[in-house]
Structure 1
Amino acid sequence: MSLKRKGQKATIDLRNIVKRDFSYLAPNPDSANRPLWIDPDKGYIILERFHPLADLATDFLVTIAEPQSRPAFLHEYKITPHSLYAAVSVGLNGEDIISTLDKFLKTELPQTIKEFIRSCTKSYGKVKLVLKSNKYFVESSDADVLQTLLKDSIIGPLRVSGSDEITTTRAPALSGLVIPGTKNAAGAQQADLPQNMNKDTSESDHIEDILNDEDNDDDEEAVHAFEIPDSAVESVQKRCLDLSYPILEEYDFRCDNINPDLDIDLRPNTQIRPYQEKSLSKMFGNGRAKSGIIVLPCGAGKTLVGITAACTIRKGVIVLCTSSVSAVQWRNEFLKWSNINPEDITTFTSDSKEKFSGSTGIIVTTYSMVTNSRERAHDSKKMMDFLAGREWGLMLLDEVHVVPANMFRRVISSIKTHSKLGLTATLLREDDKIDHLNFLIGPKLYEANWMELSQQGHIAKVQCAEVWCSMPTVFYEQYLQVSSRMKRTLAAINPSKFQACQFLINYHEARGDKIIVFSDELYSLKLYAYKLKRYLIYGGTSQEERLRVLDHFRHNPEVNTLFLSKIGDTSLDLPEATCLIQISSQFGSRRQEAQRLGRILRAKRRNDEGFNAFFYSLVSKDTSEMHFASKRQAFLIDQGYAFKVITKLDGIEKTPDLAFSTPSEQKELLQGTLVDNETSVDDEFAADDLWGGEKTGGKGGKAKGKNTVKRVAGYLDQLSGVQDMAFIERNTSANKSLKRKKGEKSDFFKKIDRENKRRRNK
């Protein structure tokens, strides 16, 4: 809108409005009975969550589109090439998608969207890479597609010599494949029961049939294939992608008679939840194991999904985790939920390098152990040769989002596996590398709705709050003058924030909660833990100490609060935790915010009405933390969470022994912090990153814990003891006299001068 001077009429610029005007889309006569709107330009779809057909539409949209935002009443999805690729991978075709969208939309389906869907689905899923009898085959149900690939100048010569003919077989059907832990496995054969008994309209029947039949599209199709050598797999994948025929990876594990079977099954009393069953049905939809990614909230049972997949394939399994702590947890979960022989499952970490006893088994290791490019110890090298020298039926990749793409290529090239399953709660990164996972591992097979699982009681109901903490004048004056790194430290040790943390710890401990306090800023983490006399775990904490502290936190009623650095962001199983307080974070990372919320998302044993878990983010007012806090919350808000802003904690002034309550104490804290950080060396070394726990260092624990020697990065002048001193030259005249008096040259330089003089004379 452009405003005129007084007396003139205001005019409205309609150009921006016209750009978003979709009135040309003709509404359907029964549009009120349909739940979807569509943006024909950008492919966004809006779902009315309050509509009677919302549940059916949600199942369909999760299959064909990427969830963007899912608050209470309106959900937003986006159709992308990758989402359509995933839809094809579970059995849908372009015409199914178009016809079903037509039945859900309030308006006619725009022609541009139809063309986009057809262009993406005509090539996606046409070509598959299958490992049968330990040989790689490029498969397709369309013989013309294979002929196109064989005529290509790069793929054609890579065909295995002697296999000039294209083999033709029948695709396996899902019938006969039972996923452990489902109702079918328990004896209730649902396949023979009539589906959708109470539908009111034939339209709903048709949509339900499409969704139920999506995984069985190729039961009757013949498939054609040609063989390629192992060394050509990556080249063929890359070339097929360039030719717009991205390869799907599938494993026909039921016909694999070469690799030995693993004796493993879920325990009889284990039954997986409906959303876990749905995610696994996407993986095993056509009787084979598809490689791909399953996205479930923290605490929703990703580990059990991975274990069930291993029990379905029943071949050798390698599990990759982010730390040695999570590797131990994965092994314990396998023993808890399955009947695996303890001798058939081992860990490969810095502390344990054992092989399984039988011909096949499960090895749980970490990304860093497998991708380490430095010279290995003898035991590690032998173990790595063992991993690389055999074929694995399944590779489970825990927290798959955290690993950069170049590291994945090293994992995939060093370990030969038939199928890959990536597990994560947050399929996002602050860079664009997340897209690499679509072809390095596979498409996203399933993504659950956080709020829906919360309402059903599968995960905790969390109250999220942002607590604003004012900064004392003396602190803020210093904050405006120091470096950006020091600004982070001062914002974290803000006395008002410390008092808020102390108050919340006292309040929640009194009501029986188990509390986790997170800080990325190491100096503040130690200060809080030592001052409040609570346990802490950070990069310098030894592996033995970490496990001991975690065990105390889980089972000791006297230990109710635990301070954690960023090593606790992922793969830490603490189902007892009901309250989380965040005092410092990694700038605007949405992923870290969601991962930390996940520490308290596991369903709670007690049945409190309303919220039964609490997430507090303490933010120093008028600092950069305010800006980053809004960015960090974006992902959780899109999942339907609401952040309550608290500007004052009622009753905080009545807290006994409130720390830093006087100006003198606050000034002393400030001065001590400035002195301690003048020449500080951050000893949150490499062990406190993604691979925390692979190195052992100092000892964490209580405030009175004994310090041990550890290696840190630093400068030599910091060891001299004179880093705060300066050299002052007092007798300057002595230097002038030394310059005037020339010293006698050595015989060597005299000889050089004579030779130079001789050359000049010649």
Structure 2
Amino acid sequence: MNKPGACIVQRDLSVLLEKDHPGFEEARERLSSFAELVKTPAFYHTYRMTPLTLWNAAAGGIDAEAILKDLAELARYPLPGGVAQDIRKWMGRYGQLKLYPVPGVADLLELENCGPDGALLEQLLTQLNWADGRITLQGERHCRLSAALRGMLKRELGQLGYPVLDEAGYHQGRPLSFKLRSVLPDSGHPFQLRSYQMEAEAAFAGERGEGGSGVVVLPCGAGKTVIGLAAMERLQCETLILTSNVTSVRQWVAELTSKTTLPAQEIGEYTGEKKQVKPVTVSTYQILTHRSRKNEEFRHMSLFNERDWGLIIYDEVHLLPAPIFRATADIQATRRLGLTATLVREDGCERDVFTLIGPKRYEAPWRRLEESGHIAEVDCREIRVSMPEDQQKRYVQAEGREKFRVAAENPGKQPVIEQLLDRHRDRQVLIIGQYLDQLQSVAKEMGVPLITGSTPQSERGRIYQAFREGKLPVLVVSKVANFAVDLPDASVAIQISGSFGSRQEEAQRLGRILRPKTDGSRAFFYTLVSENTREQDFAQRRQLFLLEQGYEYAVQQEREVLNA
């Protein structure tokens, strides 16, 4: 007799997936295209369908009937009443409202209601409460507004639960002629896009090249930067690139120099150290949102209007600060490409990414790229460490967030770190943590360099380069290394503390070791957690995104490591 389905679908659009079911892997992959993982108890993984997960599925060409078919095939019991109606309702809203230019009238847009409810626009305008006449009804199913309000309208309607299908088009920007190289000048090695990179760029561009907004989701080490370069080559226009830190700016500049025919004088760095505005300019979110006094305006935000950009690339788009969202709302006629390893945002602003940058255009499962050799195979392990008696007393007496920190800074982790370093003494190892006192103590004990936010940029560059060249086998780093740091030979990461339950951070830290190894060996990702503490609870939440990608964490006790 066939085993019953792997899933139990619940009325609130959550789905329980039995972990030990023989169909677990297939069900996990199918669910991940329209639901998100929210909990992983011992026997069932809990997924949840939300308006945003369903809209992203719709943007990717999946319709409600395909999802209902998947659920019916995976479900152990018939779908509860109302589930099908809710899925059809939310997915039906994608494409119900369409925005397009008014023919022959410059700077004016029309919003059309293509859905069954003829009174919808009037109801939505009442909820928007734009009382100053900025948007006017043109009959029951149409209204008009200034093109300057394009982003604001999309953002506010998205918050009301009605995504706008934006067909208002994009301007070209100032032309910029260049090509991707076929041979890298420094090494003489041939260069071409991988198949999934070509698929991602094509998905962003659209079937007829009419696309121009959206997000590509790929793991660290899979070459998201190259997809950005390919989009630039297709569009042949001046481009603004925004990223997370100065180290990443320098890496983008290096990639532009080595992989494109752009001359160096056409590539600019706009950071705290340099203020170059060139046909291709690379900057950071930090400099754009910098203001020296509390009420001072963001004076560097003018970079969005310094040149006639035809494309803006948002690297690590999940880190986008709120002021950048506001600026992006004003430039919806400019093509926008978001690059990220995870759409997870701990601040809950995923819907703003969807409405202002664009929907998810392409995603490749991490494990599939691992199986094809494009990223390294990774062994993930959580090591549970007991606390010394005096530290245990401090933990019991601590309150709130201090409790988590006491557990995270458990000195009992030090012998485990030493044992792991001995086990991997022939590897390049990153020790990653959250708390500076802890990191300084570990670096001093190990006699190895430490990089934090206060490390001068020139010193960071020198240390990173020594690590890349193998002169430094071990490096201790704070959260400044979570994002966009290219350390291709790092193959072991030891995470000794983290930002509470940040799924985003867990994915980024694993990403530090995902580049394929020249000898084909696997990478190792260790998370050290104080046993029976809040840190252990938060660790389970941190792991959610990677579990959704198909990774499993083997749990070990410290004695198993120390006695190995």
Q: Given that residues 96 and 115 in structure 2 are in contact (C-alpha distance below 8 angstroms), is that contact kept between their aligned partners in structure 1?
A: no
Q: Does 1:549 align with 2:489?
A: no
1:284 to 205, 225, 228: 205
**CA distance 1:144–1:483, shift in 2 (3 Å):** closer
Secondary structure of 1:631 counterpart: helix
Show CA shifts across 1:86-143 (max 9, x none).
2433455556666787788898777734433432344321334457998463465959
> What is residue 537 of structure 1 aligned with on the other side?
451
How many pairs align?
A: 543
**CA distance 1:241–1:529, shift in 2 (3 Å):** closer
Q: Which residue identity lines up with residue 300 of structure 1 in the other structure?
A: A
Q: d(CA) in 2 for partners of 1:314 and 1:70?
A: 46
**CA distance 1:469–1:103, shift in 2 (3 Å):** closer
Q: Given that residues 241 and 313 in structure 2 are in contact (C-alpha distance below 8 angstroms), is that contact kept between their aligned partners in structure 1?
A: yes
> What is residue 187 of structure 2 aligned with on the other side?
none
Q: Given that residues 451 and 476 in structure 2 are in contact (C-alpha distance below 8 angstroms), is that contact kept between their aligned partners in structure 1?
A: yes
Q: d(CA) in 2 for partners of 1:375 and 1:576?
A: 42
User: Greater CA deviation, 450-459 or 485-494?
Assistant: 485-494
Q: Which residue identity lines up with residue 604 of structure 1 in the other structure?
A: K
Show CA shifts across 1:192-222 (max 9, x none).
xxxxxxxxxxxxxxxxxxxxxxxxxxxxxxx
Q: Which residue identity lines up with residue 547 of structure 1 in the other structure?
A: G
> What is residue 542 of structure 2 aligned with on the other side?
632
Q: Given that residues 35 and 47 in structure 1 are in contact (C-alpha distance below 8 angstroms), is that contact kept between their aligned partners in structure 2?
A: no
> What is residue 10 of structure 1 aligned with on the other side?
none
Counterpart mapping for 1:495-510 below 5 A? 495-509=411-425
1:370 to 283, 288, 291: 288
Q: Which runs of 5 or more structure 2 residues have no equivalent in the other structure?
A: 183-189
2:362 to 446, 450, 455: 446
Q: d(CA) in 2 for partners of 1:624 and 1:121?
A: 38
Residue 311 of structure 1 deviates from its aligned partner by 2.4
Q: d(CA) in 2 for partners of 1:58 and 1:259?
A: 39
Q: Given that residues 251 and 418 in structure 1 are in contact (C-alpha distance below 8 angstroms), is that contact kept between their aligned partners in structure 2?
A: no
1:424 to 340, 348, 354: 340
Q: Given that residues 151 and 328 in structure 2 are in contact (C-alpha distance below 8 angstroms), is that contact kept between their aligned partners in structure 1?
A: no
Residue 331 of structure 1 deviates from its aligned partner by 2.0
> What is residue 149 of structure 2 aligned with on the other side?
232
Q: d(CA) in 2 for partners of 1:313 and 1:126?
A: 29
Q: d(CA) in 2 for partners of 1:540 and 1:343?
A: 30
Counterpart mapping for 1:684-699 below 5 A? none
1:318 to 206, 225, 240: 240
Residue 421 of structure 1 deviates from its aligned partner by 2.4
Q: d(CA) in 2 for partners of 1:408 and 1:386?
A: 11
**CA distance 1:247–1:598, shift in 2 (3 Å):** same
Q: Does 1:400 align with 2:317?
A: yes
Secondary structure of 2:424 counterpart: helix
**CA distance 1:482–1:285, shift in 2 (3 Å):** closer
Q: d(CA) in 2 for partners of 1:114 and 1:53?
A: 24
Show CA shifts across 1:689-721 (max 9, x none).
xxxxxxxxxxxxxxxxxxxxxxxxxxxxxxxxx
The percent identity for this pair of structures is 32
User: Greater CA deviation, 543-552 or 427-436?
Assistant: 427-436
Q: d(CA) in 1 for partners of 2:410 and 2:156?
A: 55
1:590 to 488, 495, 503: 503
Show CA shifts across 1:641-692 (max 9, x none).
22233334579589xxxxxxxxxxxxxxxxxxxxxxxxxxxxxxxxxxxxxx
Q: d(CA) in 2 for partners of 1:138 and 1:513?
A: 59
Residue 368 of structure 1 deviates from its aligned partner by 1.8
**CA distance 1:604–1:75, shift in 2 (3 Å):** farther
Secondary structure of 2:455 counterpart: coil
Show CA shifts across 1:36-87 (max 9, x none).
86626244568899779959x957x65554466899x999765432233224
Show CA shifts across 1:132-167 (max 9, x none).
998463465959999975996759954699xx99xx
**CA distance 1:150–1:392, shift in 2 (3 Å):** farther
1:247 to 152, 157, 164: 164
The structure with higher relative contact order (CA 8 Å, sep 6+) is 2
2:350 to 415, 428, 434: 434
Q: d(CA) in 1 for partners of 2:460 and 2:159?
A: 47
Give the TM-score, by structure 2 length. 0.80
Counterpart mapping for 1:194-273 below 5 A? 228-237=145-154, 240-241=157-158, 245-250=162-167, 252=169, 256=171, 259-268=173-182, 269-273=190-194
**CA distance 1:289–1:342, shift in 2 (3 Å):** farther
Q: d(CA) in 2 for partners of 1:305 and 1:147?
A: 42
> What is residue 703 of structure 1 aligned with on the other side?
none
Residue 550 of structure 1 deviates from its aligned partner by 0.5
Q: d(CA) in 1 for partners of 2:371 and 2:220?
A: 15
Show CA shifts across 1:451-482 (max 9, x none).
22222222222112223333344554555556
Q: Does 1:327 align with 2:249?
A: yes
Give the TM-score, by structure 1 length. 0.61
Q: d(CA) in 1 for partners of 2:505 and 2:37?
A: 19
> What is residue 209 of structure 1 aligned with on the other side?
none
Computed over aligned residues only, the root mean square deviation of the Cα atoms, in angstroms, reads: 4.4
Q: Given that residues 173 and 311 in structure 2 are in contact (C-alpha distance below 8 angstroms), is that contact kept between their aligned partners in structure 1?
A: no
Counterpart mapping for 1:304-315 below 5 A? 304-315=226-237
**CA distance 1:484–1:86, shift in 2 (3 Å):** closer
Q: Which runs of 5 or more structure 1 residues have no equivalent in the other structure?
A: 1-30, 166-223, 655-762
Q: Which residue identity lines up with residue 236 of structure 2 in the other structure?
A: R
Q: d(CA) in 1 for partners of 2:118 and 2:336?
A: 24
Q: Which residue identity lines up with residue 321 of structure 1 in the other structure?
A: T
Q: Does 1:455 align with 2:371?
A: yes
Residue 534 of structure 1 deviates from its aligned partner by 0.6
> What is residue 519 of structure 1 aligned with on the other side?
433
Q: Does 1:569 align with 2:485?
A: no
Q: Which residue identity lines up with residue 310 of structure 2 in the other structure?
A: G
Secondary structure of 2:361 counterpart: strand
Secondary structure of 2:310 counterpart: strand
Secondary structure of 2:326 counterpart: helix
Secondary structure of 2:551 counterpart: coil
Residue 615 of structure 1 deviates from its aligned partner by 1.3
Q: d(CA) in 2 for partners of 1:93 and 1:644?
A: 37
Secondary structure of 2:450 counterpart: strand
Residue 277 of structure 1 deviates from its aligned partner by 3.7
